[in-house]
Amino acid sequence: MQNPLSRLSLALPLLALAACGGKAAPTPSYQAEMFSTGASPFAHNYDATSQETCEASRRALLSQGYVTTMPQPDTIDATKNFQPTADTHVVVSFHVVCTAGENATNTSIAYVNAVQDGYTLKKSDTSASVGLSVLGSLSLPIRSNSDSMVKISSETVPAGKFYDRFFSLVGHYLKTVPRSSPIPGENVSTQALAPSLILNSPDLTPTPIVVQTPAASSAARAELKASADKPAPAASAAPAASATAMTAATVAATPAASPASAPVAASATTP
């Protein structure tokens, strides 16, 4: 007959193994997602258009040292590097999406998300040996070190003051950056100028400029030549005769020219 204590000592290890094997698995992190319809800590409403909100978000990220990559009218992507220790490296990737508001036309919603990727420095030593047959079984060890960054974590930055500070900075840039607003068509008034102020003013009346083409210039010269070749009318014979008599009297009254000027006079009268 076995002792009850010995039976108990045999059952205890079995109970311990059953307890270890029946331990519940850890709950995955995504199970905590509630997808509630309340206010989201990753979104913020602004009294501005979606393009203005995205532009303010871009300025806010640039002012804090983030590097933006190919911004779009409704999306902003930016990254920033951190070095907490000598062997660790952290990269924060910021993603902003701007959409139109739900209640008014000039409102928008900014949805933000920041992902933190962690890297660590991994050192690896490699060694090899080279055998020289000439010297026998002599081997020379060769060692090399190679360092590389290995990704060890990737996590979305949880909601909290991190996003609140970003939303406040975006609101600051929306207030300080000048924005243009369209002018309603019914508020624009026009008034025509009086025609007398422009048409009847002699100082403002333009002077016409006549530009003749080469063909028109040739025709005008031909017309002038033809009119010059026509004989003078009979009515103008008396004035022409009187003009000739006055010219002869003037030449007779002029004293004799000097010998030096004779050739000049002769050349002047030569047809």
| Residue-level pLDDT at 90 | 96
Percent of the chain with pLDDT over 70: 53
Computed over every residue of the chain, the mean pLDDT equals 73
* Cross-strand partners of 121: 149
Is 50 exceeded by the pLDDT of residue 105?
A: yes
Whole-prediction pTM: 0.52
Strands (E), the chain: 43-46, 67-68, 75-82, 88-100, 108-132, 138-156
Instruction: Give the highest mean pLDDT range of 148-152, 170-174, 202-206.
Output: 170-174
Give me 113's structure tokens.
């998300």
Instruction: Please report the DSSP string for 163-196 in residue order.
Output: HHHHHHHHHHHHHHS----PPPGGG----PPPTH
Beta-bridge mates of residue 99: 109
Structural domains of the chain, ranges and CATH numbers in brackets = 39-120+149-176 (3.30.310.80)
Q: Compute, in degrees rounded to 10, the torsion defined by CA atoms 204, 207, 208, 211.
A: -130
What's the rounded Cα separation, in Å, for the pair 121 and 119? 7
| The two three-digit tokens of residue 111, written as one number | 């949805």
Q: Which helix (H) or strand (E) segment is 269 a member of?
A: helix 262-269
Q: Tell whether the model's pLDDT for residue 157 goes beyond 50.
A: yes
| pLDDT 10s digits, 215-229 | 666 777 777 777 777
